[in-house]
Structures are given as structure tokens and as C-alpha cells.
Structure 1
Amino acid sequence: MTSILSPRFDHRLVTERITLEPVSLVFSHQMLEYQIDNRKHLQPWEPLRRSDFFTLDTMRSRARAMADSMASGDALHWLMCEGDTVIGECNFTNIVRGPFLACHLGYSIDHRREGKGLMREALAASIEYVFEREGLHRIMASYRPENTRSERLLKSLGFEREGYSRAYLKINGAWADHVLTALINPAV
């Protein structure tokens, strides 16, 4: 597959059951299918989406923006794939270098694949890459208090609770509280 990414980030990660593909225009159709198939499932956890978000033009624009942020070193965006099907996303955004060496983690998975350990598998591989290849020191992740799946997932990966933030993000049209967690790279 061809990619619109710079040579800086063209790393496909392969785990036992899935492949993590760097986002590129090649996946625009699959990204759209994933968003449409999971619209209701993801709605409580994501920003409010206008109907034009669920179009091929928007997915192409989104893929371009993600690829640009990867090329500039500001983010890492992977699509979780089973064969040619996108089953989730794994994103490390707001990468800050210098003395901070940190980023934010975001992720989502197809409603039919929850509870099978696939997200844990994807995050374990991508976190290893972020720590070992990118040399980041801290990965921060937040979750809504009622999202017990995310709480368990992050704890299983070693994330520790660092705080609680009221009205932290506007999710599904309303300001929502979040639990703040972080994972520290023991090697940096």
C-alpha cells in the first residue's frame, strides 16, 4: 500500500491478531465504514458529530490531517485492522518534545469486538513503540468516570490515576468530567 506519510512515520505494527496501519488516504473508505458502523456506539464518548462527518470527503480530509500531523511529528495515528477491515483507532496526539516528552492517548474499537482483548493488544504494541522508538516519557489518557471498560483497560496497561477534572472535554454536546491517568516510561 502506498502512503502519503513522510519517511518519518511509516511503521506498521503487527500483533498476534491485528495489524496497526498508519493512517493514510488509502484507508478513507474503511475509516468511513468504521465510523458509520459505530456511530451509535461511539457517540457517548466522542465530540458531537455533524451529519457531514460521516462522508467520504470528511474521512479523506481527516486522513490528510492525521497524516500531516504524523509527518510533522505532532501525533501518531494508527488504524486497527483485521485484514482490510478497520476495527478501531489508536492515536497518540499533542506530542510535546523537549523536557516534557509527553502525549495524549485516544482510542476506540468496533462495538462487535469489545471484550476480546484486541484493544489491549493494540495499545500494548503501540505504547511499546511510543516509548522505545519515539523516546517519550509520559503518555496521558483520560476517561469518563462511567466508562468502566476504559478504566479497567488503562489499569491493566499500568496507567495510574493522577486526578479528576470537572467539565474537562465537551463530549456528545455536553461538558463531561474525566479521570486523568498517565503511564511513565521506566527507561526514560
Structure 2
Amino acid sequence: MLPGGTRLRLVSLDDAEALHRAYTANRDHLAPWEPRRPESFFTVEGQAARIREQLKQFAEQRAVPWVLESDGAVIGTITLSGMAFGPFCSAHLGYWVAADQQNRGLAGAGVASVCRAARDIIGLHRIEATTLPDNAPSQRVLSKNGFEPIGMAPRYLHIDGEWRDHRLFQRILHDGPPSN
């Protein structure tokens, strides 16, 4: 359990309606930090298609998509994507929390839970995350969870309509041999 009774759990196809509501309600809040989305993304059908793809990647051990849920409502997501095993044992972390749920410690607690699962259950060695240079709140979440800055990637992602620089962070989870 996270602060305030919030749960972190694997996404399910049953979440399409709740994710549609969450993304629609947070569209303006997320716009400066995310790629521009087609209108279909903000529909129940668009979310169902997205969840099906995420669950396919989960079955293939390429991603783990979680939702943050409070009082039956989805209030954010956390995803490990681009998972690789063997000598790399790494994944990329992405997350967001609804505008009306900010400053409650949910992102930090969720990221901490995901890091524990990545180390103890999935067996990853490392997690990478990126933020826009001016996204200080997200950088604080990462710092509090043991992520260290490792550089800057010029024109790294197409965010809010343009190629944007990103700060790169990583957290080393363990130094044992690869488990997979």
C-alpha cells in the first residue's frame, strides 16, 4: 500500500475506461511532459488498444505496466519498458500522477515499489529514467529514490511538438550476476 491507501497494481484490460477518464482529466497537466497524442488515445477504445499492447509486451518480458489506483480511480501509471536481460539487465522507467494527487508522495512511493520489484522479482541490475531539464519535481522523485544523473541527451524525445533535451538518470539496483 502506498500513501493514503493508494495501490500499485498491474494494468488490466478492465482499466480502459478508468485510464480514458484519467488521461482526459489530466490532458493539459501532462501535455508539457509527453508526446502529442492522437485524439484516439483519449478514448476508451484507444486505451484498450494501448493496454492490449502493454500486456503483450508484459507477456514477452519487455515491459511491466502498472496503474496507481485510489478509491477505485486510476490516478497515474508507472511503467518499466524496454526491458532487456542477459548482460544488460536494464529497463526504462516512466511515470505520472494526476494533477489533483500531486505532493502526496505517491510518485516517490510508487517508484520505490517498482525499484524493489525490479530488483527482487524481475532481477534487473539497472533502471534508467529521463526528465526534461526543467522538470524539477520529477528529478526530486528520482533523486529521493537513489537515481543519479548520468548526462544530458540533446533532442532526445519528441515532446509537446518538438525534439527536447532530456537529463538522464540511472539507479543501479544490485551488482550481482544477471539472473536471466
Q: Does the CA-based 8 Å contact 2:19-2:74 persist in structure 1?
A: yes
Residue-by-residue CA offset, 1:135-179 (whole Å, 9 max, x unaligned): 100000000000000111111111001010110000011000000
Tell whether the 8 Å contact from 2:65 to 2:79 is kept in structure 1 after alignment: yes
Pick from 90, 104, 122: which aligns with 1:102? 90
CA RMSD across the alignment: 1.0
SS across alignment from 2:122: coil
TM-score for the superposition, normalised by structure 1:
0.90
Output the CA distance in 2 between the equivalents of 1:113 and 1:187: 35
In the alignment, which residue of structure 2 is the partner of 1:11? none
Gaps of 5+ in 1: 1-13
User: Could you say which residue in structure 1 is the equivalent of 2:2?
Assistant: 15
Matched residue, 1:38: 26
Structure 2: distance between partners of 1:162 and 1:30: 36
C-alpha deviation, 1:80, in angstroms: 0.3
Deviation at 1:21, TM superposition (A): 1.8
Which contiguous aligned blocks of 4+ residues in structure 1 show a shift greater than 3 angstroms? none
Q: CA deviation at 1:83?
A: 2.6
Higher helix share: 2
Residues 47-90 of structure 1, C-alpha deviation per residue, up to 9 Å, x if partnerless?
11122211111011011011111111000000000131000000
Q: Distance in 1 between matches of 2:11 and 2:55?
A: 6
Q: Which amino acid aligns with 2:40?
A: D
Letter in 2 for 1:157: N
Give CA deviations for 1:87-146 in whole Å, capped at 9, x if unaligned.
000000000001000000000010001111011111111110111111100000000000
Query: Could you tell me the percent identity over the aligned residues?
Result: 33
Aligned 8 A contact 1:141 1:181 in 2: yes
Residue of structure 2 in register with 1:145 after alignment: 133
Is the 1:18–1:122 contact (alpha carbons within 8 Å) kept by the matching residues of 2?
A: no
Flag structure 2 segments of 5+ consecutive residues without an equivalent. Answer: none
Match status 1:166 vs 2:169 = no
Give the match for residue 75 of structure 2.
87
